[in-house]
Amino acid sequence: MIRHLFTLIWNRKRSNFLLMSEILLSFFVLFAVSVLLVSNYYNYQQPLGFEYENVWELSVNPGQDTLNRTEKVSQIMRRLQSTPGVVAVTSTSSNTPFSFSTMNTTQYTYKGKGGPLTERYDADDDMVKVLRPKVVAGRWFDRRDAAATRPPVVVNQKFVEKLFGQESPVGKVLVTSDGKEEWQIVGVVETFRSGSDFASNDPAIFDRRILQDSAVLGAYEMPVLLVRVQPGSGAVLEQQVVKDIKDISKGWIAKVNTLQENRHDKLKIMLTPLIALGVVALFLIINVALGLFGVLWYNINQRKAEIGLRRAMGATGSGISAQFLGEMLVVTTLGVLGGVLLAAQFPLLGAFGVETPVYIMAIVLAALLIYTLTAICAFQPSRIAAGIQPAVSLREE
C-alpha cells in the first residue's frame, strides 16, 4: 500500500512538489511563531527565584535636596526596621523586580574568558531577608565581607554555567578585561528572573552595597528601598511608612507600590504582544488551512476520471477515501521532514537565543499543527472523492 502511494505521488510529482513546498513553508512559519509562544510559556513555568509576596517598593524622590542623602536614607531604613509590621528592609538599585529598568554589563572576566551579558544588581546584607533568593552554594553577604580585600559578589547559576561550566565558582576572582578591578564570588543563588514572569533565566550578579560604609548614593540618584512586611499589612502601615519618611527627610516624596502590583502591571504589558502574536498565528493557521483545502479540492476535480475508473474496477468508497488521506499524509510527511531539517539548524546556530527544549517543543507543536490541518482539510475532499460514481465521472470525460 505504501509503495502504491509513493507511485501515485511520483506520477503527479509536479503538483505534489508544489504542495510539499507549501507545507514546508507553512511548517517553517509555524515553527518560528511556536518558538516565540513556547519560549514565553516555558519561561512562565520556571521559578522566579525570589519571593515577591508581602514586599513593598519605596521609591523616594529627594527633589532638589542633594545634601546628606546617604545619611538620611540610612536613618529611614533604621526607622522602618523598628516599625511594627516591617520584617526587613533593603536598599537596592533601580532595577527592582518587575520594573522597566535594567543594568547590563559584560565587564566580568575569568582567566581571560569574557563573561556573558549580565544583569547587575546592588544588594546589601538584608536583601536575602526581603526577597529570599535561594542560595545553593557559598553564602549571602554578611558582616565578614566588610573586611574583604576584594569586593564580594553573588552570582546566579546561569552566570556560573556561562563562565565557569562545571567548575565551582565560590572563592573565584573576577576581573575586568584590563585587570584594574577585581571581585570575589562568595555565593551562588539558584535563579533570579526579575524582569517579568516571561523573562528568560539570564546571568545575574549582585554587588554588595552598604549605605553605612560610604556615600554610595550619587547626588541625583533616586533611592529605592524594598520592604518585607507582615502578611495582611495594608493602608495603615503604608501611611505610617510614608509619614516616617517625611518626618526624617523633611520634604522628600515617597511612593509605595507592592511588588504584586508591579508584577500585575508588567504582566499586562507583556501579554499584549503575546496576544497579538497569537492572533497572527491563528490567522496564519486559517490561511494555511484554506490553501490546503483549495489545493485538495482542485486535485480531486482533476482526478475524477481516475476515481471513476477505480470505482468501476471495484474499489470501495472507503478505499478511495483512505487513498486520498494516505497520499496527503505522505506528502505532508515529506514536507514536514524538510521543515524539520531546516528547523534543526536553529538550536545549533542559537538563532532565537532560547533553550534547546524550547526548539524541540516548537518543532513538535508545528508538526502536530500541520498534520492536524492536513488531516482536517483532506477529510472532506476525500469524502467527496469516495462519493463519486463511476458512470458520472466517466460520462463527464
More confident: 311 or 240? 240
Together in a domain, 204 and 222: no
Measured over the CA atoms of residue 109, residue 115, residue 117 and residue 119, the dihedral's sign is negative
What H or E segment, with its residue span, contains residue 18? helix 13-45
Predicted TM-score of the model (pTM): 0.78
Q: Assess if residue 204 is contained within a domain.
A: yes
Q: What is the mean pLDDT of the segment spanning 145-165?
A: 93
- The CATH number given to whatever domain includes residue 246 is 3.30.70
Q: Assess if residue 56 is contained within a domain.
A: no
Together in a domain, 15 and 121: no
Together in a domain, 202 and 240: no
Q: Assess if residue 111 is contained within a domain.
A: yes
| Dist. CA 123–CA 92, nearest whole Å | 5
Cβ neighbours for 58, distance < 8 A, ≥ 6 positions apart: 224, 225, 226, 227, 241, 245, 254, 255, 256
Together in a domain, 14 and 116: no
Together in a domain, 192 and 302: no
**pLDDT tens-place string over residues 269-295:** 988 888 887 888 788 778 877 877 777
| pLDDT score at 214 | 42
Together in a domain, 98 and 180: yes
| Dist. CA 32–CA 362, nearest whole Å | 8
| pLDDT score at 227 | 94
Q: What is the mean pLDDT of the segment spanning 83-94?
A: 90
Q: Which domain holds residue 241?
A: 63-93+216-251
**pLDDT tens-place string over residues 31-77:** 888 888 888 888 899 999 999 999 999 887 776 665 677 788 888 88
Q: Assess if residue 74 is contained within a domain.
A: yes
Q: Assess if residue 316 is contained within a domain.
A: yes
pLDDT at 396 over 60: no
| Dist. CA 352–CA 359, nearest whole Å | 9
Confidence of residue 6 (pLDDT cuts 50, 70, 90): low
Together in a domain, 37 and 85: no
Q: Assess if residue 81 is contained within a domain.
A: yes
Together in a domain, 99 and 88: no
Together in a domain, 164 and 275: no
Residue 187 bridge partners (DSSP): 138, 154
Q: Assess if residue 174 is contained within a domain.
A: yes
Confidence of residue 219 (pLDDT cuts 50, 70, 90): very low
Together in a domain, 243 and 359: no
Together in a domain, 193 and 116: yes
| pLDDT score at 215 | 45
Q: Assess if residue 188 is contained within a domain.
A: yes
DSSP, collapsed to helix, strand or coil, labels residue 392 as helix
Together in a domain, 82 and 103: no
Domain count, the chain: 3
